[in-house]
A and B are shown apart, each in its own frame.
Chain A
């Protein structure tokens, strides 16, 4: 019937829109869905707005985030474990490897003060001195001048106040130089005095949180002093080369005397703390006085006992740490170290009296950070105690059990003892942690540490399940999600390494379920994200061709929740980076990919920059991701969504690519899919609605200069023509009818809707007759296709469907086509007659209603387009006559 003379008529009547009544609300009416539907609901994505206020609050939290602190600790620890393996054992106890870690970890913004008489020369440099000068009255001025004349006298102590941390560090650097310089200028007493003054400052705990760093800085100077003394004595004792034996003996004797003098000098220091530090700093020099190892041991024990006189637990702990530091360089014995711990355990409750005080005054320092101050000293001393010696391990563990508030020491045991020991006693440890109630040390901290220990060395095979259960008994009681995830992170490694897949998967699921239920907030914490990513990967990898669909769904859902929770605020690039990482990680799960595409689409809409670069990146991400999804239906949906998004953001090339890809997939769409109850469900209805959506979108898609006129519509018709529908299906005719609708809209001078910025075909062609001719041609093709359908329905004796379809087409012809053309008018009449034939099959109101519609159209056009109205009237006449 290609002789049909179809010409689209302009729309001369108004199309009225019946708007729904709107109502303001605070609750999104679809919100409920976001909780339950995570898979593929595009609406859920639209609901995840980011509140800028809570974002700020989060940023504030991040500033003093204890987690990031833990990360650095963990790094330190894992680095150390690594080093234990790689480097020769002898370096393990070296202090130098730790000092930088301490300096970086313990910092302060508070003002520090320093007292010395040796930094006057550099007075012009520092603000502290300036302020003293400014405040001096006349009497003081005289004193100040006198001080300058004789500034190395003990009486002229300068108190430098209000020093910032870098200034403070710089002062100590100056003191160190001053000390070395004095020594080389033969001013040994001055060097000693500098060292004593420095050691005195170790009694100052005004800025608590800086104390470990203060200790590092000051003991650095003491180390320098100790080395200078030792090297000089060494040089003296070895004499000049080629000296006779007698001379050499004399030299050695002289060195011995000098050495003894040093010790005499130091022994007369009035204050206890500097006296002990100074003796320790030159402890190595005892080798000039005795070669008896036992003698060293005795000396160390004597010093250990003397340290009991230092009342402040923090100061005395670090002094003990220094003692051990010096001790390990001269004797492999561990007895004196053990004795130090014996004394420490006596003083230990004292620490918690401070903790109780800081619990009431957290503005000074929090209980937890106060306990952290002890960690470097405890860790080091414990490491020295158990290094290459297992004599005291068990006994320390027992002692720790008896101790009240044992968390702090337990923490250090976990980080210093060998993984093998911890693995052997794993059950004991987990029990100990479960019962440990130490203020300032949370169980999650301890469990996290234990988790990382057993990850590098697992307990006995037969204990593992009991062990894991015991640990999770406590882990599951943690209420803070971040704390939970931080703790669980290390355990995930353990589980994944040492358990069968089913246990592993179960554990991962439990953790993610916990996270899903207990965390409401978004997260951008790298530790949390990495931990969850790791768990998700285990789950993803557990899925294979044999997995049950339900399992797959469960896992996908858990991972989807996680993906939704990761939120980097305004850092969109990082967010997209995360999606890229997630795509690489969760390659087995379609539903996760769907979520990722939706998330990327949503991300594109959050772009605020003028350039389309980021949006293009998001769409490219989607375009690459979609083909990996196995369900054709989902692919089609997502292509359409992305195409629409691209169009919306004026990325025309990408939009075209998406639409093309979507249409090419139509013929891969299976005829039916299996629903949740296992029944097959035909996809034809889906296809119809999908293509309607597509057609509605295509209205505004401008033709690409590379393709012909209405390329996508042609492609759609082509695809439908080839598609195998069910026999007697009305689906193709419905699609054709809508294609006709779309074509008619294309013929209008102004389309009913546009996308801002997109030049649609109406403006592109400017109602060009050639374009209209193309449309009319296509209309004829479509009508032909529908007529073929009608014929087929007739053959199949589907009278009712045939009648309905003919009425549908009839109405469109009446509205869209020029009825003055005889072929068109005749076709309309024939359709009307065909419908009338099956009148009995139709609803009784259908035919009269159709007639009324035509009459109404006549009335609408009577005045504006008399010629058209005339044609309609003619048709009406013929209809009534028939």
Chain B
């Protein structure tokens, strides 16, 4: 079994002609000092032999939506007081008869404090709390999903928020696993 994840990094929406994964297995004869004389006759005549050739279409032609890691204020008439990110865990369990859904706020952090300048890229960066997060889990009777609310608080506490579904996957690294990317 070969498992993997393909990651694209593109700041803007990108067109593509399909995403295909190619697999190729080739065997080749090589001589070592111990077998000198044994295979010499073959050596020059044996070509590499193709054992495996497969391809897998990952995606049909289409567009890759912009995977941004930052947000930008385009224009605002009311002064912004704060921009917050709220991480929410949604647990669903049940069967065909009925599902029960439970959403829990896990962590809220501020990414902008005060009336930030428009056209300035503000990075979206949150270290996931290890005790309250896990890779997104989807089974027939049980689901753990995550959502991100982007909350913009204006002066006089007028609030606008937008919800994004996000998928967590596990990766290993030297530093605390840290990234979550919200698409827009």
Per-residue A-contact encoding for B113-145, CB less than 8 Å = 1, 0 else: 111110011110111011000000000000000
B112 interfacial contact with A, CB 8 Å: yes
CB-nearest residue of chain A to B80: A311
Q: Are A311 and B110 in contact (CB-based, < 8 A)?
A: no
Contacts of A347 on B, CB cut-off 8 Å?
A: 117
How many residues on A have C-beta within 8 angstroms of the other chain's C-beta atoms?
28
* Distance from B137 Cβ to chain A, minimum over Cβ atoms (Å): 22
A70 interfacial contact with B, CB 8 Å: no
Q: Are B113 and A311 in contact (CB-based, < 8 A)?
A: yes
Q: In the docked arrangement, what's the CA distance between A171 and B107, Å?
A: 32
A203, A269, A306: which contacts B111 (Cβ < 8 A)?
A306
How many residues on B have C-beta within 8 angstroms of the other chain's C-beta atoms?
27
Q: In the docked arrangement, what's the CA distance between A557 and B111, Å?
A: 67
Q: Are B110 and A270 in contact (CB-based, < 8 A)?
A: yes
B108 interfacial contact with A, CB 8 Å: yes
Contacts of A305 on B, CB cut-off 8 Å?
A: 70, 121-123
Per-residue B-contact encoding for A578-620, CB less than 8 Å = 1, 0 else: 0000000000000000000000000000000000000000000
Contacts of B80 on A, CB cut-off 8 Å?
A: 311
B103 interfacial contact with A, CB 8 Å: no
Q: Are A311 and B112 in contact (CB-based, < 8 A)?
A: yes
Contacts of B130 on A, CB cut-off 8 Å?
A: 264
CB-nearest residue of chain B to A271: B110
Q: In the docked arrangement, what's the CA distance between A350 and B118, Å?
A: 11
B109, B117, B129: which contacts A264 (Cβ < 8 A)?
B129
B175 interfacial contact with A, CB 8 Å: yes
A564 interfacial contact with B, CB 8 Å: no
Q: Are A272 and B113 in contact (CB-based, < 8 A)?
A: yes
Q: Are B110 and A264 in contact (CB-based, < 8 A)?
A: no
Q: Are A310 and B113 in contact (CB-based, < 8 A)?
A: yes
B176 interfacial contact with A, CB 8 Å: yes
Q: Are A308 and B110 in contact (CB-based, < 8 A)?
A: no
Contacts of A132 on B, CB cut-off 8 Å?
A: none
Per-residue B-contact encoding for A287-329, CB less than 8 Å = 1, 0 else: 0011010010000001001101111100000000000000000
Q: Are B122 and A309 in contact (CB-based, < 8 A)?
A: yes
Q: In the docked arrangement, what's the CA distance between A591 and B83, Å?
A: 74
Contacts of B175 on A, CB cut-off 8 Å?
A: 289-290, 295
A260 interfacial contact with B, CB 8 Å: yes
B70, B112, B120, B126: which contacts A346 (Cβ < 8 A)?
B120
Per-residue B-contact encoding for A250-279, CB less than 8 Å = 1, 0 else: 000000000010011001111111010000
Q: In the docked arrangement, what's the CA distance between A260 and B178, Å?
A: 12
Q: In the docked arrangement, what's the CA distance between A149 and B7, Å?
A: 54
* Distance from A349 Cβ to chain B, minimum over Cβ atoms (Å): 9
* Distance from A876 Cβ to chain B, minimum over Cβ atoms (Å): 112
Q: In the docked arrangement, what's the CA distance between A800 and B176, Å?
A: 122
Q: In the docked arrangement, what's the CA distance between A666 and B108, Å?
A: 99
Contacts of A308 on B, CB cut-off 8 Å?
A: 112, 116, 120-123
Q: In the docked arrangement, what's the CA distance between A203 and B85, Å?
A: 20
Q: Are A270 and B113 in contact (CB-based, < 8 A)?
A: no
- Best-surrounded residue of A270, A289, A308 (most CB of chain B within 10 A): A308
* Distance from A208 Cβ to chain B, minimum over Cβ atoms (Å): 15
B25 interfacial contact with A, CB 8 Å: no
B174 interfacial contact with A, CB 8 Å: yes
Per-residue A-contact encoding for B69-92, CB less than 8 Å = 1, 0 else: 010000000001001000000000
Q: Are B109 and A290 in contact (CB-based, < 8 A)?
A: no
* Distance from A829 Cβ to chain B, minimum over Cβ atoms (Å): 113
B112, B117, B120, B121: which contacts A272 (Cβ < 8 A)?
B112
CB-nearest residue of chain B to A289: B175
Q: Are B109 and A260 in contact (CB-based, < 8 A)?
A: no
Given the known inter-chain contacts A290-B174, A290-B175, A309-B122, please indicate yes or no for A264 contacting B127, CB distance below 8 A.
yes
* Distance from B175 Cβ to chain A, minimum over Cβ atoms (Å): 6
With A309-B112, A310-B112 already in contact, 12 other A-B pairs whose C-beta atoms are closer than 8 Å? A260-B176, A264-B129, A264-B176, A267-B109, A272-B109, A273-B113, A290-B174, A308-B121, A308-B122, A310-B113, A311-B112, A311-B116
CB<8 Å pairs between A and B, sample of 10? A203-B113, A264-B127, A267-B176, A272-B110, A305-B121, A305-B123, A306-B123, A308-B116, A308-B122, A311-B115
